[in-house]
Amino acid sequence: MKFRKMLFYVTAERKRPFLDWLMDLDIQVRGRIEARLDRMAGGNAGDYRAVGEGVFEMRLHFGPGYRVYYAYDGQEFVLLLLAGDKSSQPSDIKKAKFFWQDYQRRKE
| Tens digit of each residue's pLDDT, the chain (108 residues) | 578 999 999 999 999 999 999 999 999 999 999 999 999 999 998 999 999 999 999 999 999 999 999 999 999 999 999 999 999 999 999 999 999 999 999 988
Give which of 34, 36, 38 is closest to 22, Cα–Cα: 34
The set of residues, in sequence order, having a beta carbon less than 8 Å from that of 88 and lying 6+ positions away, is none
CATH 3.40.1190.10 for domain 5-103: no
pLDDT of the residue at 1 = 58
Q: Which residues of 46-70 are buried (b: 16+ CB within 10 A; e: fewer)?
A: eeeeebeebbbbbebeeeeebbbbb
- What integer pLDDT is reported at residue 107 of this predicted model? 87
In this structure, are strands 48-52 and 5-8 parallel, antiparallel, or unpaired?
unpaired
